[in-house]
Structure 1
Amino acid sequence: MSGLVDVLAVTAAAVLVIVRQFRASRIDTDRRWWVLPVVLGIVALREPGVIDAHHHTAAVLLLAAELLIGLVTGAGWAWTTRVWVESDGGVWGRGSRASVAVWTAGIVLRAGLYGVGAALGVRQDSSALLLALAATLLVRSAVLAWRVQAARPAGAPGPAYRGRLSRPARKEPA
């Protein structure tokens, strides 16, 4: 993909994730919460250019810092998400104002890293940003799954069903 398309795709994914965090949504720990971050990570690693070959050491350090910022942002996001249990046992969550502060700090730090890389002459590809987004989502999902398990009291009812609902049976004519 071209650089502009990559940046637009990463930006669209980030905006979607950020906007969705401020709507109350049911947190389902029974699904495979790790699949999307792993797929994003694989897509990012398939792109050539994660590491600038001409500035190998600086590029690796910048990538490590980017991943560290992603991990911290994901953990901060998960810990600032309000989590509650409904009467039916379902667990819900919604981002808070502190979540906005976590995201803002993460974006500012990433912009600073980009500036450092540009000053050093390191070619930076959007795949590093995508990899950091994958790390952010993975840590956030893992911490939320752990918090959901801790929030649900022992013996509390879980959802009344697991998996997909089947179609209702047809009534036979009388």
Structure 2
Amino acid sequence: MSGLVNALVIVAVVAIVIARQFRAQPIDTDRRWWLLPVILAVMALREPGVLDAHHRVESGALLAVELLTGLATGAGWAWTTRIWTSPDGVVWTKSTKASGAVWVVGIGLRVGLYAAGTALGVHQDSAALMLGLAGTLLVRGGILVRRARSRGAVGPSAPAYGDDSRPAWKESV
């Protein structure tokens, strides 16, 4: 797949995911929450340009930092997401302002990594970014499903960091 197609896939996935997460939505712990991250990872790993052939050590280090950034962003996003249980027992989720801040910091770190790679003369392909995004979505989904399962039946709402602690009203989806 070309770099342009990868970039379009990344932009589309990020736009859809971010737009959906800032609306209240029920969490289905039985669905395959891991499927999209696995598809993104497979697409990224099929690309030959994940590592720069002329700078293997430097590009490997940048890829490792990209993956760690993705995992940290996913964890931060999941822990700043508000989860509550409605009276009918359905567990709902909605990202908070703090979740948006996590995204901004994560994007800033990725821009910094790209700048560092450029300064080192390392060719960077969009496959590394796609792999980092897959890690972000996988960790976020896993933590949210675990948090939702731990809520079990009806319980009080647990505010997330940075939440305004407003009443939990369902939004129409």
TM range (shorter): 0.7 to 0.9
Which amino acid letter does the alignment assign opposite residue 25 of structure 1?
Q
**2-structure distance, mates of 1:121, 1:6:** 21
User: In structure 2, what is the equivalent of residue 151 of structure 1?
Assistant: 151
Deviation at 1:58, TM superposition (A): 0.3
**2-structure distance, mates of 1:13, 1:126:** 14
User: Which stretches of structure 1, 4 residues or more, deviate above 6 A after TM superposition?
Assistant: none
Deviation at 1:5, TM superposition (A): 2.2
Quick check: which has more Rg, 1 or 2?
A: 1
Deviation at 1:152, TM superposition (A): 2.2
Deviation at 1:94, TM superposition (A): 0.3
User: In structure 1, what is the equivalent of residue 54 of structure 2?
Assistant: 54
User: In structure 1, what is the equivalent of residue 6 of structure 2?
Assistant: 6
User: In structure 1, what is the equivalent of residue 23 of structure 2?
Assistant: 23
Q: Secondary structure at the match of 2:51?
A: coil
Between Structure 1 and Structure 2, how many residues are aligned?
155
- Normalised to the residue count of structure 2, the TM-score between the two structures is 0.86
Unpaired stretches in structure 1, ≥5 consecutive residues: 157-174
User: In structure 1, what is the equivalent of residue 86 of structure 2?
Assistant: 86
User: In structure 2, what is the equivalent of residue 115 of structure 1?
Assistant: 115
Deviation at 1:9, TM superposition (A): 1.6
Deviation at 1:105, TM superposition (A): 0.2
Which amino acid letter does the alignment assign opposite residue 137 of structure 2?
L
Which amino acid letter does the alignment assign opposite residue 79 of structure 2?
W
Q: Secondary structure at the match of 1:78?
A: helix
User: In structure 2, what is the equivalent of residue 170 of structure 1?
Assistant: none
**1-structure distance, mates of 2:90, 2:30:** 12
User: In structure 1, what is the equivalent of residue 106 of structure 2?
Assistant: 106
Residue deviations 1:60-84 (CA, integer Å, cap 9, x gap):
0000000000000000000011000
Residue deviations 1:114-158 (CA, integer Å, cap 9, x gap):
0000111100000101100110010001100110112224xx5xx
**2-structure distance, mates of 1:6, 1:40:** 10
User: In structure 1, what is the equivalent of residue 163 of structure 2?
Assistant: none
Deviation at 1:34, TM superposition (A): 1.1
Deviation at 1:109, TM superposition (A): 0.1
**2-structure distance, mates of 1:46, 1:81:** 32
Which amino acid letter does the alignment assign opposite residue 64 of structure 2?
A
Question: RMSD of the TM alignment (CA)?
Answer: 1.3
- Normalised to the residue count of structure 1, the TM-score between the two structures is 0.86
User: In structure 2, what is the equivalent of residue 33 of structure 1?
Assistant: 33
Residue deviations 1:81-129 (CA, integer Å, cap 9, x gap):
1000011111100000000100000000000000000111100000101
**2-structure distance, mates of 1:31, 1:9:** 22
User: In structure 1, what is the equivalent of residue 169 of structure 2?
Assistant: none
